[in-house]
Chain A
Amino acid sequence: MNVQMSVNGDSISLDVPPNEVLLDTLRTRLGLTGSKDVCRTGDCGACTVLLDGRAVNSCLVFTAEVDGSDVLTIEGLVEDDKLHPIQEAFIEEDAAHCGYCTPGMILSAYALLKEKPKPSREDVQEALAGNLCRCGTYYAATNAVLKASQKLREIQSS
Protein backbone atom coordinates (compact mmCIF):
# COMPACT_ATOMS: atom_id res chain seq x y z
CA MET A 1 0.00 0.00 0.00
CA ASN A 2 1.06 3.57 -0.55
CA VAL A 3 2.27 5.51 2.47
CA GLN A 4 3.17 9.18 2.54
CA MET A 5 5.12 10.55 5.44
CA SER A 6 7.72 13.09 6.35
CA VAL A 7 11.04 11.63 7.47
CA ASN A 8 13.48 14.12 8.98
CA GLY A 9 11.66 16.87 7.10
CA ASP A 10 11.68 15.15 3.69
CA SER A 11 8.36 14.18 2.13
CA ILE A 12 8.45 10.53 1.20
CA SER A 13 6.03 8.35 -0.73
CA LEU A 14 6.53 4.58 -0.55
CA ASP A 15 4.76 1.37 -1.45
CA VAL A 16 5.04 -1.08 1.45
CA PRO A 17 3.32 -4.31 2.41
CA PRO A 18 0.95 -3.82 5.39
CA ASN A 19 2.98 -6.18 7.60
CA GLU A 20 6.19 -4.14 7.31
CA VAL A 21 7.23 -2.29 10.46
CA LEU A 22 8.58 1.25 10.47
CA LEU A 23 11.99 0.09 11.72
CA ASP A 24 12.48 -2.03 8.59
CA THR A 25 11.22 0.74 6.30
CA LEU A 26 13.71 3.17 7.83
CA ARG A 27 16.67 0.81 7.81
CA THR A 28 16.24 -1.17 4.61
CA ARG A 29 14.28 1.11 2.29
CA LEU A 30 15.58 4.50 3.39
CA GLY A 31 19.06 3.47 4.55
CA LEU A 32 18.57 5.20 7.91
CA THR A 33 20.44 2.70 10.06
CA GLY A 34 20.76 4.94 13.12
CA SER A 35 17.61 3.32 14.50
CA LYS A 36 18.88 0.00 15.83
CA ASP A 37 17.32 -3.41 15.31
CA VAL A 38 17.66 -5.33 18.57
CA CYS A 39 14.73 -6.99 20.40
CA ARG A 40 11.85 -6.25 17.99
CA THR A 41 9.37 -6.65 20.83
CA GLY A 42 9.31 -3.15 22.31
CA ASP A 43 11.45 -4.05 25.30
CA CYS A 44 14.80 -2.41 24.57
CA GLY A 45 14.10 0.96 22.95
CA ALA A 46 17.08 0.83 20.56
CA CYS A 47 14.72 1.48 17.63
CA THR A 48 13.15 4.58 19.24
CA VAL A 49 12.07 7.31 16.81
CA LEU A 50 9.80 10.30 17.21
CA LEU A 51 6.40 9.89 15.61
CA ASP A 52 4.56 13.22 15.48
CA GLY A 53 6.84 14.39 18.28
CA ARG A 54 6.37 11.38 20.56
CA ALA A 55 8.94 8.70 21.29
CA VAL A 56 7.80 5.29 20.02
CA ASN A 57 9.40 1.91 19.36
CA SER A 58 9.59 1.77 15.55
CA CYS A 59 9.60 -2.06 15.72
CA LEU A 60 6.05 -1.93 17.11
CA VAL A 61 4.50 0.32 14.47
CA PHE A 62 3.37 -0.89 11.06
CA THR A 63 4.52 1.61 8.42
CA ALA A 64 0.98 1.54 7.02
CA GLU A 65 -0.20 3.04 10.31
CA VAL A 66 1.95 6.18 10.04
CA ASP A 67 0.55 7.43 6.74
CA GLY A 68 0.45 11.23 6.97
CA SER A 69 2.78 11.42 10.00
CA ASP A 70 6.10 13.10 10.77
CA VAL A 71 8.98 10.81 11.66
CA LEU A 72 12.22 12.02 13.21
CA THR A 73 15.21 9.68 13.43
CA ILE A 74 18.65 10.25 14.94
CA GLU A 75 19.90 11.27 11.49
CA GLY A 76 17.47 14.20 11.57
CA LEU A 77 19.01 15.76 14.67
CA VAL A 78 22.16 16.97 12.91
CA GLU A 79 21.79 20.41 11.38
CA ASP A 80 24.39 21.80 8.94
CA ASP A 81 26.81 19.03 9.95
CA LYS A 82 26.58 20.23 13.54
CA LEU A 83 25.68 17.82 16.30
CA HIS A 84 22.62 18.54 18.40
CA PRO A 85 23.36 19.79 21.95
CA ILE A 86 22.02 16.49 23.35
CA GLN A 87 24.52 14.59 21.20
CA GLU A 88 27.32 16.89 22.34
CA ALA A 89 26.37 16.38 25.97
CA PHE A 90 26.40 12.58 25.51
CA ILE A 91 29.98 12.84 24.18
CA GLU A 92 31.09 15.19 26.95
CA GLU A 93 29.61 12.99 29.67
CA ASP A 94 31.02 9.82 28.07
CA ALA A 95 27.49 8.46 28.00
CA ALA A 96 28.03 6.01 25.13
CA HIS A 97 30.08 2.86 25.55
CA CYS A 98 29.21 0.35 22.81
CA GLY A 99 26.77 2.96 21.52
CA TYR A 100 23.98 0.66 20.42
CA CYS A 101 21.35 2.16 22.71
CA THR A 102 22.56 5.73 22.26
CA PRO A 103 20.43 6.89 19.28
CA GLY A 104 17.30 5.69 21.07
CA MET A 105 18.31 7.30 24.35
CA ILE A 106 19.03 10.60 22.62
CA LEU A 107 15.65 10.60 20.90
CA SER A 108 13.85 9.78 24.17
CA ALA A 109 15.76 12.69 25.73
CA TYR A 110 14.87 14.94 22.79
CA ALA A 111 11.15 14.21 23.24
CA LEU A 112 11.42 14.88 26.98
CA LEU A 113 13.23 18.19 26.60
CA LYS A 114 10.75 19.44 23.98
CA GLU A 115 7.96 18.80 26.45
CA LYS A 116 9.78 19.71 29.65
CA PRO A 117 12.79 21.97 29.09
CA LYS A 118 13.79 21.82 32.75
CA PRO A 119 13.32 18.21 33.84
CA SER A 120 14.18 16.77 37.24
CA ARG A 121 16.54 13.79 37.51
CA GLU A 122 13.46 11.59 38.09
CA ASP A 123 11.83 12.95 34.91
CA VAL A 124 14.95 11.97 32.95
CA GLN A 125 15.03 8.53 34.52
CA GLU A 126 11.39 7.98 33.61
CA ALA A 127 11.91 9.19 30.04
CA LEU A 128 14.90 6.87 29.55
CA ALA A 129 13.36 3.85 31.33
CA GLY A 130 12.38 2.36 27.98
CA ASN A 131 15.95 2.44 26.67
CA LEU A 132 17.98 -0.49 27.94
CA CYS A 133 21.78 -0.26 28.05
CA ARG A 134 23.82 -3.41 28.63
CA CYS A 135 26.96 -1.32 29.22
CA GLY A 136 25.26 0.38 32.15
CA THR A 137 25.60 3.98 30.99
CA TYR A 138 22.42 5.08 32.76
CA TYR A 139 24.11 7.38 35.23
CA ALA A 140 26.23 9.13 32.60
CA ALA A 141 23.29 9.30 30.20
CA THR A 142 21.08 10.89 32.87
CA ASN A 143 23.79 13.45 33.57
CA ALA A 144 24.14 14.11 29.84
CA VAL A 145 20.43 14.82 29.47
CA LEU A 146 20.46 17.21 32.44
CA LYS A 147 23.50 18.95 30.98
CA ALA A 148 21.82 19.15 27.56
CA SER A 149 18.72 20.68 29.11
CA GLN A 150 20.89 23.44 30.54
CA LYS A 151 22.70 23.95 27.20
CA LEU A 152 19.41 24.16 25.34
CA ARG A 153 17.99 26.69 27.81
CA GLU A 154 21.11 28.82 27.44
CA ILE A 155 20.79 28.70 23.64
CA GLN A 156 17.11 29.64 23.93
CA SER A 157 17.77 32.61 26.18
CA SER A 158 20.79 33.94 24.25
Chain B
Amino acid sequence: MRATVPAFDYYAPDTIPELLNLLGRLDSPSLIAGGTDFIPAARLKGFRPANVVSLRNLGKELSYVTIKDGLVRIGALTKIIDAQRSELVCTRAPCLHEALSQIGSVQIRNRATIGGNLCNASPAADSAPPLLVLNASVETIRQGTGRTIPLKDFFLGPGKTALEKAEVLKEVAFRPQEGGSSFEKLGRTNGEDISVASAAVLLKISGSKISEGRIALGSVAPMPMRALQAEKMLSGKEPSAALLDSVASMASDEAVPVTDVRATAEYRKSAVKALVRSAFARALERARGG
Protein backbone atom coordinates (compact mmCIF):
# COMPACT_ATOMS: atom_id res chain seq x y z
CA MET B 1 0.00 0.00 0.00
CA ARG B 2 1.30 3.42 -0.87
CA ALA B 3 0.36 6.98 -0.06
CA THR B 4 -2.12 5.98 2.59
CA VAL B 5 -4.22 8.42 4.55
CA PRO B 6 -2.71 9.02 8.03
CA ALA B 7 -4.59 7.49 10.98
CA PHE B 8 -7.41 9.39 12.68
CA ASP B 9 -10.20 8.85 15.19
CA TYR B 10 -13.49 8.15 13.45
CA TYR B 11 -17.04 8.97 14.52
CA ALA B 12 -20.30 8.28 12.71
CA PRO B 13 -23.18 9.91 14.60
CA ASP B 14 -26.69 8.58 13.94
CA THR B 15 -28.62 11.78 14.57
CA ILE B 16 -28.18 15.52 14.09
CA PRO B 17 -28.19 16.27 17.87
CA GLU B 18 -25.47 13.65 18.28
CA LEU B 19 -23.53 15.26 15.43
CA LEU B 20 -23.76 18.74 16.97
CA ASN B 21 -22.73 17.37 20.35
CA LEU B 22 -19.65 15.69 18.84
CA LEU B 23 -18.69 18.80 16.88
CA GLY B 24 -18.99 20.86 20.07
CA ARG B 25 -16.67 18.71 22.13
CA LEU B 26 -14.09 17.36 19.65
CA ASP B 27 -10.86 19.20 19.00
CA SER B 28 -10.82 20.44 15.34
CA PRO B 29 -13.28 17.93 13.91
CA SER B 30 -13.24 17.32 10.15
CA LEU B 31 -16.48 16.36 8.45
CA ILE B 32 -16.57 13.77 5.68
CA ALA B 33 -19.52 13.50 3.27
CA GLY B 34 -18.73 11.90 -0.12
CA GLY B 35 -14.99 11.91 0.57
CA THR B 36 -13.96 12.70 -3.00
CA ASP B 37 -12.12 15.90 -1.97
CA PHE B 38 -11.29 14.68 1.54
CA ILE B 39 -9.28 11.58 0.61
CA PRO B 40 -7.05 13.14 -2.08
CA ALA B 41 -6.40 16.11 0.26
CA ALA B 42 -5.38 13.77 3.10
CA ARG B 43 -3.26 11.68 0.78
CA LEU B 44 -1.48 14.38 -1.21
CA LYS B 45 -2.05 17.85 0.13
CA GLY B 46 -0.92 17.58 3.73
CA PHE B 47 -4.45 17.59 5.16
CA ARG B 48 -4.04 15.84 8.56
CA PRO B 49 -7.42 15.38 10.22
CA ALA B 50 -7.19 14.08 13.81
CA ASN B 51 -10.92 13.66 14.40
CA VAL B 52 -13.08 12.63 11.48
CA VAL B 53 -16.85 12.86 11.78
CA SER B 54 -18.69 10.94 9.09
CA LEU B 55 -22.08 12.11 7.86
CA ARG B 56 -22.94 8.74 6.34
CA ASN B 57 -25.76 7.94 8.77
CA LEU B 58 -27.45 11.28 8.10
CA GLY B 59 -27.71 10.75 4.35
CA LYS B 60 -31.36 9.72 4.50
CA GLU B 61 -32.35 12.82 6.40
CA LEU B 62 -30.35 15.33 4.37
CA SER B 63 -30.70 13.97 0.81
CA TYR B 64 -33.58 15.56 -1.06
CA VAL B 65 -34.50 17.91 -3.86
CA THR B 66 -37.87 19.46 -3.17
CA ILE B 67 -39.85 22.66 -3.52
CA LYS B 68 -41.26 24.19 -0.38
CA ASP B 69 -42.45 27.72 0.49
CA GLY B 70 -41.63 28.79 -3.06
CA LEU B 71 -38.00 27.67 -2.89
CA VAL B 72 -36.19 24.77 -4.53
CA ARG B 73 -34.31 23.08 -1.67
CA ILE B 74 -31.42 20.68 -2.07
CA GLY B 75 -30.34 18.75 1.04
CA ALA B 76 -26.64 19.05 1.85
CA LEU B 77 -26.00 15.31 1.52
CA THR B 78 -27.73 14.96 -1.85
CA LYS B 79 -25.36 13.22 -4.25
CA ILE B 80 -24.32 15.45 -7.14
CA ILE B 81 -25.72 12.92 -9.63
CA ASP B 82 -29.14 12.90 -7.95
CA ALA B 83 -29.33 16.69 -7.88
CA GLN B 84 -28.15 16.84 -11.50
CA ARG B 85 -30.88 14.46 -12.65
CA SER B 86 -33.72 15.81 -10.54
CA GLU B 87 -36.64 17.18 -12.50
CA LEU B 88 -36.69 20.35 -10.39
CA VAL B 89 -33.06 21.20 -11.12
CA CYS B 90 -33.42 20.36 -14.82
CA THR B 91 -36.49 22.56 -15.28
CA ARG B 92 -36.11 25.29 -12.64
CA ALA B 93 -32.35 25.80 -12.75
CA PRO B 94 -30.87 24.69 -16.07
CA CYS B 95 -27.51 26.39 -15.38
CA LEU B 96 -27.17 24.35 -12.20
CA HIS B 97 -28.01 21.16 -14.07
CA GLU B 98 -25.31 21.98 -16.62
CA ALA B 99 -22.72 22.67 -13.94
CA LEU B 100 -23.47 19.55 -11.89
CA SER B 101 -23.28 17.39 -15.05
CA GLN B 102 -19.68 18.54 -15.48
CA ILE B 103 -18.38 17.82 -11.98
CA GLY B 104 -15.84 14.98 -12.22
CA SER B 105 -16.94 11.62 -13.59
CA VAL B 106 -20.01 9.48 -12.94
CA GLN B 107 -17.97 7.73 -10.22
CA ILE B 108 -17.25 11.06 -8.52
CA ARG B 109 -20.81 12.35 -8.88
CA ASN B 110 -22.12 9.12 -7.36
CA ARG B 111 -20.24 9.89 -4.12
CA ALA B 112 -19.76 13.66 -4.00
CA THR B 113 -22.48 15.78 -2.41
CA ILE B 114 -23.78 19.28 -3.05
CA GLY B 115 -22.95 20.24 0.55
CA GLY B 116 -19.42 18.91 0.20
CA ASN B 117 -18.90 20.87 -3.00
CA LEU B 118 -19.98 24.09 -1.24
CA CYS B 119 -18.34 23.53 2.17
CA ASN B 120 -15.02 22.53 0.65
CA ALA B 121 -15.12 26.12 -0.64
CA SER B 122 -12.85 25.59 -3.60
CA PRO B 123 -12.68 28.63 -5.91
CA ALA B 124 -13.33 26.03 -8.64
CA ALA B 125 -16.47 24.49 -7.11
CA ASP B 126 -18.69 24.12 -10.17
CA SER B 127 -21.97 24.22 -8.26
CA ALA B 128 -21.19 27.72 -6.95
CA PRO B 129 -21.45 30.05 -10.00
CA PRO B 130 -24.95 28.81 -10.99
CA LEU B 131 -26.14 28.96 -7.38
CA LEU B 132 -24.77 32.52 -7.15
CA VAL B 133 -26.74 33.69 -10.20
CA LEU B 134 -29.81 31.98 -8.74
CA ASN B 135 -29.32 34.16 -5.62
CA ALA B 136 -29.22 31.00 -3.50
CA SER B 137 -28.95 30.92 0.28
CA VAL B 138 -27.79 28.16 2.58
CA GLU B 139 -29.62 27.01 5.69
CA THR B 140 -27.45 25.86 8.55
CA ILE B 141 -28.00 23.69 11.61
CA ARG B 142 -26.49 24.47 14.99
CA GLN B 143 -27.47 24.29 18.68
CA GLY B 144 -30.67 26.26 19.09
CA THR B 145 -31.72 27.69 15.74
CA GLY B 146 -29.93 27.54 12.43
CA ARG B 147 -29.15 30.47 10.18
CA THR B 148 -29.88 31.52 6.63
CA ILE B 149 -26.74 32.77 4.90
CA PRO B 150 -26.84 34.22 1.36
CA LEU B 151 -24.42 32.14 -0.70
CA LYS B 152 -22.52 35.31 -1.69
CA ASP B 153 -21.59 35.73 1.99
CA PHE B 154 -20.87 32.04 2.57
CA PHE B 155 -17.48 31.79 0.88
CA LEU B 156 -14.73 33.63 2.75
CA GLY B 157 -11.68 32.38 0.82
CA PRO B 158 -10.13 29.17 -0.46
CA GLY B 159 -11.37 26.41 1.88
CA LYS B 160 -13.03 28.95 4.19
CA THR B 161 -16.75 29.40 4.79
CA ALA B 162 -18.93 31.41 7.15
CA LEU B 163 -19.81 28.25 9.10
CA GLU B 164 -18.88 28.48 12.76
CA LYS B 165 -17.72 25.68 15.07
CA ALA B 166 -20.45 23.09 15.53
CA GLU B 167 -22.49 24.53 12.67
CA VAL B 168 -23.25 22.43 9.58
CA LEU B 169 -24.97 22.92 6.26
CA LYS B 170 -28.55 21.68 6.06
CA GLU B 171 -29.55 22.70 2.54
CA VAL B 172 -29.10 25.18 -0.25
CA ALA B 173 -32.25 26.94 -1.48
CA PHE B 174 -33.24 29.25 -4.32
CA ARG B 175 -36.27 30.59 -6.15
CA PRO B 176 -37.11 28.75 -9.38
CA GLN B 177 -35.37 30.75 -12.05
CA GLU B 178 -37.18 33.18 -14.32
CA GLY B 179 -35.74 33.88 -17.74
CA GLY B 180 -32.88 31.87 -19.20
CA SER B 181 -29.62 30.63 -17.74
CA SER B 182 -26.48 28.84 -18.79
CA PHE B 183 -23.18 27.59 -17.39
CA GLU B 184 -19.93 27.32 -19.32
CA LYS B 185 -16.77 25.68 -18.08
CA LEU B 186 -13.27 25.50 -19.46
CA GLY B 187 -11.04 22.65 -18.33
CA ARG B 188 -7.68 21.55 -19.69
CA THR B 189 -9.56 18.82 -21.56
CA ASN B 190 -13.16 18.53 -22.71
CA GLY B 191 -13.59 15.51 -20.47
CA GLU B 192 -13.74 15.48 -16.70
CA ASP B 193 -11.45 18.10 -15.24
CA ILE B 194 -11.29 20.83 -12.63
CA SER B 195 -12.33 24.19 -14.06
CA VAL B 196 -9.62 26.52 -15.34
CA ALA B 197 -12.39 29.11 -15.41
CA SER B 198 -16.18 28.99 -15.51
CA ALA B 199 -19.11 31.36 -15.93
CA ALA B 200 -22.82 31.24 -15.19
CA VAL B 201 -25.22 33.77 -16.72
CA LEU B 202 -28.89 34.35 -15.96
CA LEU B 203 -30.95 36.79 -18.02
CA LYS B 204 -34.49 38.06 -17.65
CA ILE B 205 -36.07 39.68 -20.65
CA SER B 206 -38.85 42.24 -20.82
CA GLY B 207 -39.97 42.99 -24.36
CA SER B 208 -36.79 43.45 -26.37
CA LYS B 209 -34.74 44.57 -23.36
CA ILE B 210 -32.82 42.82 -20.60
CA SER B 211 -34.64 43.54 -17.35
CA GLU B 212 -32.06 41.83 -15.17
CA GLY B 213 -28.80 40.02 -15.77
CA ARG B 214 -26.60 38.14 -13.34
CA ILE B 215 -23.11 36.84 -13.99
CA ALA B 216 -20.96 34.64 -11.72
CA LEU B 217 -17.44 33.38 -12.27
CA GLY B 218 -15.51 30.38 -10.95
CA SER B 219 -11.76 29.67 -10.62
CA VAL B 220 -10.77 33.29 -11.21
CA ALA B 221 -10.73 34.68 -7.65
CA PRO B 222 -10.09 33.39 -4.10
CA MET B 223 -13.75 32.35 -4.09
CA PRO B 224 -16.59 31.99 -6.59
CA MET B 225 -17.74 35.56 -7.35
CA ARG B 226 -20.45 37.69 -8.94
CA ALA B 227 -19.28 40.10 -11.65
CA LEU B 228 -21.41 42.96 -10.32
CA GLN B 229 -20.01 45.75 -12.48
CA ALA B 230 -20.64 43.72 -15.63
CA GLU B 231 -24.17 42.96 -14.43
CA LYS B 232 -24.93 46.66 -14.00
CA MET B 233 -24.23 47.21 -17.69
CA LEU B 234 -27.07 44.86 -18.64
CA SER B 235 -30.18 46.33 -17.00
CA GLY B 236 -32.58 47.97 -19.42
CA LYS B 237 -30.35 47.37 -22.43
CA GLU B 238 -31.14 45.80 -25.77
CA PRO B 239 -28.87 42.80 -26.29
CA SER B 240 -26.28 43.52 -29.00
CA ALA B 241 -22.85 42.40 -30.05
CA ALA B 242 -21.36 45.68 -28.79
CA LEU B 243 -23.04 45.31 -25.40
CA LEU B 244 -21.81 41.75 -25.09
CA ASP B 245 -18.26 42.84 -25.92
CA SER B 246 -18.18 45.42 -23.18
CA VAL B 247 -19.92 43.15 -20.63
CA ALA B 248 -17.46 40.32 -21.29
CA SER B 249 -14.52 42.74 -20.97
CA MET B 250 -15.86 44.15 -17.73
CA ALA B 251 -16.33 40.66 -16.26
CA SER B 252 -12.76 39.87 -17.26
CA ASP B 253 -11.55 43.08 -15.56
CA GLU B 254 -13.38 42.12 -12.37
CA ALA B 255 -11.74 38.68 -12.24
CA VAL B 256 -8.65 38.45 -10.03
CA PRO B 257 -7.19 35.07 -11.01
CA VAL B 258 -3.89 33.52 -9.98
CA THR B 259 -1.41 31.50 -12.00
CA ASP B 260 -1.33 27.86 -10.91
CA VAL B 261 -0.75 24.38 -12.33
CA ARG B 262 -3.85 24.61 -14.49
CA ALA B 263 -3.38 27.98 -16.21
CA THR B 264 -1.81 31.42 -16.01
CA ALA B 265 -3.71 34.42 -14.67
CA GLU B 266 -3.57 36.09 -18.12
CA TYR B 267 -5.07 33.04 -19.79
CA ARG B 268 -7.86 32.90 -17.24
CA LYS B 269 -8.68 36.58 -17.84
CA SER B 270 -9.15 35.98 -21.55
CA ALA B 271 -11.00 32.71 -20.90
CA VAL B 272 -13.53 34.67 -18.83
CA LYS B 273 -14.38 36.81 -21.86
CA ALA B 274 -15.05 33.79 -24.04
CA LEU B 275 -17.00 31.95 -21.34
CA VAL B 276 -19.21 34.94 -20.53
CA ARG B 277 -19.91 35.47 -24.23
CA SER B 278 -21.04 31.90 -24.84
CA ALA B 279 -22.98 31.58 -21.58
CA PHE B 280 -24.68 34.89 -22.35
CA ALA B 281 -25.64 33.83 -25.88
CA ARG B 282 -27.18 30.59 -24.65
CA ALA B 283 -28.95 32.21 -21.70
CA LEU B 284 -30.41 34.83 -24.04
CA GLU B 285 -31.65 32.20 -26.47
CA ARG B 286 -33.33 30.36 -23.60
CA ALA B 287 -34.78 33.57 -22.12
CA ARG B 288 -36.38 34.25 -25.50
CA GLY B 289 -37.89 30.80 -25.35
CA GLY B 290 -35.39 29.07 -27.64
Interface residues of A (CB under 8 A from B): 1, 17-21, 24, 28, 40-42, 45, 48, 51, 54-57, 59-62, 64-65, 108, 111, 126-127, 129-131
Contacts and interface: CB of A to CB of B under 8 A. Distances in A.
Nearest to B110: A54
A28 B5 CA distance: 16
Contacts of B56: 65
B104, B110, B192: residue with the most chain A Cβ atoms closer than 10 Å: B110
Contacts of A21: 4-5, 39
A40 B56 CA distance: 21
8 A-B pairs with least C-beta separation? A130-B105, A18-B10, A54-B110, A19-B5, A130-B107, A41-B40, A57-B107, A60-B39
Interface string B44-83: 1000000010101000000000000000000000000100
A17 B7 contact: yes
Given A18-B52, A61-B111, A130 B5 contact: no
Contact of B12 (A17, A24, A56, A64): A64
B106 interface: yes
A126 B103 CA distance: 12
Given A19-B6, A60-B35, A60-B36, A41 B44 contact: yes
Interface residues of B, number: 31
Given A41-B40, A42-B104, A19 B35 contact: no
Given A19-B8, A41-B43, A130-B106, 12 more contacts: A18-B7, A19-B5, A20-B4, A41-B39, A42-B36, A56-B111, A61-B39, A62-B54, A65-B54, A108-B106, A129-B105, A129-B192
B10 A55 contact: no
Contacts of B8: 18-19
Nearest to B42: A19
B241 interface: no
Contacts of A131: 105
Contacts of B287: none
A19 B49 CA distance: 11
A61 B108 CA distance: 11
Contacts of A20: 4
A14 B69 CA distance: 46
Contacts of A28: 1
B242 interface: no
B261 interface: no
22 contacts: A17-B7, A19-B4, A21-B4, A24-B4, A42-B36, A42-B39, A42-B40, A42-B104, A42-B105, A55-B107, A55-B110, A60-B36, A60-B40, A60-B108, A62-B10, A62-B54, A64-B54, A111-B106, A127-B106, A130-B105, A130-B106, A130-B108
Interface string B1-38: 11111111110100000000000000000001001100
Nearest to B5: A19
A158 to B, nearest CB: 30
Contacts of A111: 106
Contacts of B35: 60-62, 65
